[in-house]
Structure formats: C-alpha cells, structure tokens
Amino acid sequence: MNWHMQINWNFLKFTGLLLTVIALYGFADYRSRSKNIETISIKFLGDNDLYLTEDAVNKLLIQNYGGVKNTAKEQVVLNTIETIIASNEMVKSAQVYLSIEGELISKIVQRKPIGRVEGISKFYLDDTGRRMPLSRYHSARVPIITGKVTGKSLEDAYVILDYVNKDDFLRKNVIGIHIEDEGKYQLKFRIENFVVNLGGVENLDEKFKNFMAFYIKAAKDRTLENYAVVSLEFDNQVVCTKI
C-alpha cells in the first residue's frame, strides 16, 4: 500500500512540476509576444556597394506597413514585411525575423549590376540578365553598353558580360560593349583606342583563347599600341588592323 502511495506521490510531484514549467513557458511566451518592437536592424549582405539605404528601407516600411517600431510583436506579420522589402527594385531577396529582445532584424541581399546601358533609356543589367534601375545612392563601376539595344541584343550582352566576369583579365580590362547590330558586338578595352570585334556570342571560349594568345604575344613584343581593331569574327583566327 505504502509503495503504491509513494509511486502516486512521485507521479503527482512530477505532474505538478511539469504543469509549473508549462505555465512559466506560456507566461514567458505571452510576455515575449506582447512585448513591443524596440529597434529595427537592417543588414545588407554581400557587396559593400549600397544601391539602397537603411533610411530608404524604413520609409518603404512606413509607407506600406505604417511603421513597425512600438508595435506589439504578436501583431507583426513577418512574411508581409519580407514581401514589402523584396518589392523594392534594388532588392534580390530579404529575410526578416524577430529577436527575443524585441529587435526586428532584416537581412537584405541587393541585386548586382554587371553592365550599364547608356541610350535613350538608362539602366543597369543585373547578374541574372534582368533590367535594374539606376540608384541615386551609388553608381556601379561596370562596363557601359551602347548602340542598338533590343531584347535580343541585351540577352547577348548578358552572355558576354557573364563570360567576362568569370575571367580575371577580361573583368579588369573590358570597359564596354558596343552593339553594332544583333549578332555583331564590339568590346572596348581599357587600353586607349583598342577595340575587339567579337561578332556574335557563339564560340566565346575559342574566340577569347585566340585573343589571349594574340594579346600575350603583342604585349611581350610591345606592339599592342600599334593595333586599333582586333577581329575575332572569323573562324579560329585573329585579324588585326594597325593604326
């Protein structure tokens, strides 16, 4: 009998302890959720170049959400805030979460420009091949795209710039793409008055291998400044025009 009573007593003690823990947890959770948001922390991940500022993000939230500070944590809809921030044309993705201390933390990845179109309309081409507006906060140092800008020629310009950005030498030396026509592209290099007629975007590997062989030899012979135009349009050959 005593043995059964002892078991029951232990069971009751354990149940009581468990209920106390659950009650305390529920109270802490309630206090946490009913606590107001004290601060907003905006963190930009990746590049240091800011095409968007903290102030601009805060204004975006105030305009579309009515402000977040001093709002009860349980009233804040994180998905909605993420969607609002991601709606900005400079934002690639946004992640928003709340800290226990009542801080709203937003981690933002910005879009990355790889070319700048200079024509009737001016805009960036980003690293996914989409149009991106210019920023009033920062100007990107990227190759300038000029000439006959169309949907197709922009797609080709993206293919060329994507290739250029994967090569250290080309990334440092190609400063522009001139679109003479669809399928006819000219690269401008950092060397003064030095252009490369690329032709179309087919066989880029082969074209640039041939170009690099020419460039290394000409640089070694110190004859680079003698050339005005280098053409890679013809199969497996480099045709040069001297100044």
**pLDDT tens-place string over residues 190-235:** 877 788 999 999 999 999 999 999 999 988 888 888 888 889 988 7
**pLDDT tens-place string over residues 113-122:** 999 999 889 9
Please report the pLDDT score of residue 15 as a whole number: 62
Q: Rounded to a whole number, what is the largest CA-CA distance in the chain?
A: 111
Domains of the chain: 39-110 (3.10.20.310), 113-242 (3.40.50.11690)
Please report the pLDDT score of residue 97 as a whole number: 86
Q: CA-CA distance, 183 to 27, in Å (whole number)?
A: 68
Please report the pLDDT score of residue 219 as a whole number: 86
Residue 48 has pLDDT above 80, yes or no: no
Residue 28 has pLDDT above 60, yes or no: no
Beta-strand ranges (E) seen in the chain are: 39-45, 91-98, 103-110, 113-118, 122-126, 131-132, 144-147, 174-181, 184-189, 195-199, 227-231, 239-242
Please report the pLDDT score of residue 205 as a whole number: 93
Burial of 57 (0-12, 13-18, 19+ CB in 10 A): buried
**pLDDT tens-place string over residues 153-199:** 999 999 999 999 999 999 999 999 999 988 899 999 987 778 899 99
Amino acid at 162: D
pTM for this predicted structure: 0.77
How does residue 35 score in pLDDT terms, banded at 50, 70 and 90? low
Please report the pLDDT score of residue 241 as a whole number: 78
Please report the pLDDT score of residue 12 as a whole number: 58
Q: CA-CA distance, 64 to 240, in Å (whole number)?
A: 58
Please report the pLDDT score of residue 149 as a whole number: 93
Cβ atoms of 176 and 144 closer than 8 Å: yes
Please report the pLDDT score of residue 117 as a whole number: 97
